[in-house]
Amino acid sequence: MRRLALLLRLTRVLRLQGALRPELALVVFSTLMLLGALGFQYIGGLAPCVLCMDQRYAHVAAMAGGLAALALAGKGGMAARLALGLGLVALVVGAGIAIFHAGVEQHWWRGLEACGAVGQDVTDIADLIARIEAAPVVRCDEIAWQALGISMAGWNALASLAAAAVIAASTPWKTRP
């Protein structure tokens, strides 16, 4: 709790000094998260599952909100704050998807049918073959990478929630006269 209070005080100081532009922070954070995911995919050879892709889409939506807020920032007013707010909502939704994904990886709950992690009754051999052919190559319930006992989805959730908190705390939501 003390660390969170310290982090919030630091964001206020940075905002007062003009060093932190929340719109830019949102764009930079989501861009770095996407670059990291792409690095794990293309350099590390870890193919993404369906839930991994959904988390990426949330970062793209957060980037779009941040870019819209940057474009509207010069005009001031409610539109820029609304765009930033929507970008933050996308970031939090992405964190929610990541939490769900981490739970699927830990087998705390079942994944989506598109993940290949849901076992349903098969009626006949043709149904079984159709399900096998339609199943994704990468399963959502298998941990592809982890550090300190936390999966990539778990780290995404933690980082996204922390970034959303810092960006929201550093945003002047009220209109200045």
Q: What are phi and psi of 151, to 5 degrees?
A: -75, 170
The whole-number pLDDT of residue 172 equals: 66
SS3 call for 50: helix
pLDDT at 123 > cutoff 80: no
Residue 157 predicted with pLDDT over 70: yes
Instruction: Look at residue 8 and tell me whether its pLDDT is greater than 70.
Output: no
Residues 6 or more apart whose Cβ sits within 8 Å of residue 104: 51, 110, 111, 115, 117, 140, 141
Please tell me the distance from the alpha carbon of residue 170 to that of residue 12, in angstroms, as a whole number.
6
pLDDT of residue 93: 92
Per DSSP, which regions of 28-115 are E strands?
none
Helix (H, G, I), strand (E, B) or coil at 17: coil
Please give the Cα distance from 115 to 133 (Å, whole number): 13
- Average pLDDT in the 20-40 region? 86
When pLDDT is cut at 50, 70 and 90, the band that residue 18 belongs to is low
Residue 34 in this model has a pLDDT that exceeds 70: yes
User: What is the share, in percent, of the chain residues with pLDDT greater than 90?
Assistant: 5
pLDDT at 17: 46
DSSP assignments along 103-131, one per residue: HHHTTSS---GGGT-------SHHHHHHH
> Average per-residue pLDDT in the chain?
76
User: In order of start, what are the domains of the chain with their CATH numbers?
Assistant: 21-169 (1.20.1550)
- On the question of pLDDT at 160 being above 70, the answer is yes
Please determine, for residue 130, whether its predicted confidence score (pLDDT) is greater than 60: yes
pLDDT surpassing 60 at residue 143: yes
The predicted structure's pLDDT at residue 169 = 75
pLDDT of residue 117: 43
For 54-89, how does the pLDDT look when each residue is reduced to its tens digit (9 = 90+)?
Answer: 888 999 999 898 888 888 877 767 777 888 888 889
**pLDDT of res. 19:** 56
Q: Which two tokens stand for residue 173?
A: 């939501």
pTM: 0.70
pLDDT confidence of residue 177: 46
Distance CA 156, CA 150 (A): 10
